[in-house]
Structure 1
């Protein structure tokens, strides 16, 4: 008589464990659904943040290059003024030359400074063209930055709206998860978490549907189905490793074949 009572207790205990695990899975699946509802928004927001930071760095580099170019243009203009001053001085000295040697020397100096002016003017034109190109790149980058900023603002608003809508629901679910987990044997809970982590859809416990595992859909032998239906021990799918449970035991819908 005592043996029968002990067996009955064990059977109820296993059934209760399966029911608790299935309830725990339902809470966790609902949390997963909320996360799915948020979709890729958190990643999109992070990517946009990175893009904006990169654009700001690029613009700062362009602006730094522009400062250096303007500085170079200023230096070339100063060279031109110096060369012009020298030419003016040499032209005055030409009026007082005493021989052809001095004249040739001054003429060569004037010619040299004239070439220096032409070279400086060429450098200025090149720098100005480079500055123009950089300014165009700055404008394009700023335009793209503005677009990304607007996009980021919209994505953040969408994400914040979803979070605010689901935050209370998620907190309640997490509280239920915490309470339910406290009812599960630590070793069984650890196994449940491990299975859930490895499962692609986060399902650690599934019902039998149409004679197959509700997780991987592989067929389950009839005798094993009977063992699962009896609920006397915890049985896992030999293909995917998920815990199997009879749908009637946990009150889950049954899909007719």
Structure 2
């Protein structure tokens, strides 16, 4: 990376505070979107999951239908066998042959009973799966409708804010280019460690903005002197004096007014 132009402490403070205002504006835009992108993502996952479940249920029903047809065909084959064995019994020469054919008939009858039992169970399974399929389809339709609504909502917000956000991201990068790497790293570290993303704050009524801790008068004078970069000992935030903050705010307001 090329060496960044050496700035005075005051210019560094101005660049830092300007960067903070731009980044806070980007935060505002993203807060408007809020959890919406995550909601859309979660709904897409739910819809995909329900669609997969619906396909599986349909596949299961088709498979059961095939199994029922196979069982019915088997029953027809068993009945054909029974008829054949009964006809053979008419021409037997002894009791042993007759008893053997009787056992074959009984076996075929048991096979028919078993197949009919399986068909009954499979038909009950079909009814249950159809009920679950209906509930799943209803839930899927509801989630798809909800997803469509949320996507439209997100699309509207994106259309309204995307151009503005991209412009501000560009400005944020411009200000970052003015700030030395060590200072920029400190700014980023502080910004990610505080809940509201404020790494650079002004002095308001003798305390750092958003804090109840008073800044000692001597430190306030040093901050107003703009000769070195000082931080709040309680929050770790970089401090700027109120006059500098107001001047930079005015400049940034003019920039934001163009959006």
TM-score, structure 1 length as denominator? Answer: 0.85
* Higher RCO (C-alpha under 8 Å, 6+ residues apart): 2
Partner Cα distance (1:116, 1:175) in 2: 78
| Displacement of 1:215 | 4.6
Matched, 1:76 2:71: yes
Deviation by residue 1:30-57 (Cα, 9 ceiling, x = unmatched) = 0000000001011011111111221122
Instruction: Check the 8 A contact 1:203/1:215 in 2, yes or no.
Output: no
For structure 1, which segment, 89-98 or 160-169, has the greater mean C-alpha deviation from structure 2 after superposition? Answer: 89-98
Which secondary structure does the structure 2 equivalent of 1:206 belong to? Answer: strand
Which secondary structure does the structure 2 equivalent of 1:70 belong to? Answer: helix
> Which residue of 229, 238, 246 corresponds with 2:241?
246
Report 1:1-257 matches (<5 A).
13-251=8-246
Partner Cα distance (2:195, 2:212) in 1: 14
Structure 2 unaligned blocks of 5 or more:
1-6, 250-259
For structure 1, which segment, 226-235 or 32-41, has the greater mean C-alpha deviation from structure 2 after superposition? Answer: 226-235
Which secondary structure does the structure 2 equivalent of 1:175 belong to? Answer: helix
Structure 1 unaligned blocks of 5 or more:
1-11
For structure 1, which segment, 199-208 or 156-165, has the greater mean C-alpha deviation from structure 2 after superposition? Answer: 199-208
Partner Cα distance (1:58, 1:32) in 2: 39
Which secondary structure does the structure 1 equivalent of 2:202 belong to? Answer: strand
Shift >6 Å, 4+ stretches: none
Q: How many residues align?
A: 243
Partner Cα distance (2:215, 2:47) in 1: 53
TM-score, structure 2 length as denominator? Answer: 0.85
Which secondary structure does the structure 2 equivalent of 1:176 belong to? Answer: helix
| Displacement of 1:121 | 0.3
Which secondary structure does the structure 2 equivalent of 1:236 belong to? Answer: coil
Partner Cα distance (1:89, 1:181) in 2: 94
| Displacement of 1:82 | 1.0
Partner Cα distance (1:35, 1:86) in 2: 76
Partner Cα distance (2:19, 2:151) in 1: 31
Aligned to 1:4: none
Partner Cα distance (1:124, 1:96) in 2: 35
